[in-house]
Amino acid sequence: MVKNFEELQKLGKDNVDAAVKTIGAASKTAQAIAVEVTDYTRKSFEEGTQAIEKLLGAKTLEKAIEVQTDYAKAAYEGLVSEATKLGELYADLAKEAYKPYEGIFAKVTPAK
């Protein structure tokens, strides 16, 4: 009975340690995601402002269409790049959140 209690107590301590590590990793990755989104938003706003200035300065319809096309292409490429970066950050978050529990799951999962 005492041995089972000690094992249960150790398992509880291991779970708490894993939870603390997970929260730390999640916090660090969440900060990285927030910084990435903030940087992308700022950059996107600046590029949009520049495109509007160029569009207002266009002397011909052809030049206006060229400015708009270039902006749309750059905005799309930037969005795809940002989505890829964020996808990688979220995948890292999932991996880091799971990592502290690997040892615990190995102990609890019965061998086949």
Tokens representing 97?
């959140």
Which pLDDT value is given to residue 108? 62
- pLDDT per position in the chain (112 positions), as tens? 556 767 767 767 777 777 777 787 778 888 889 999 999 999 999 999 999 999 999 999 999 999 999 999 999 999 999 999 999 998 988 888 777 777 666 666 655 5
- The residue written with tokens 């590029």 in the block is 47
* CA dihedral (9, 12, 18, 19) positive or negative: negative
The answer to whether residue 12 is domain-embedded is: yes
Write down the pLDDT at residue 98.
Answer: 77
Count how many domains the chain has. Answer: 1
Instruction: Report if residue 7 sits inside a domain.
Output: yes
Report how far residue 98's alpha carbon sits from residue 106's, in angstroms, rounded to the nearest whole number: 12
Tokens of 77: 């490429």
State whether residue 23 is helix, strand or coil. helix
Paired tokens of 103: 């040892």
Domain extent for 90 = 2-106
Domain assignment present for residue 111? The answer is no
First to last CA, the chain: 27
Structural domain includes residue 45: yes
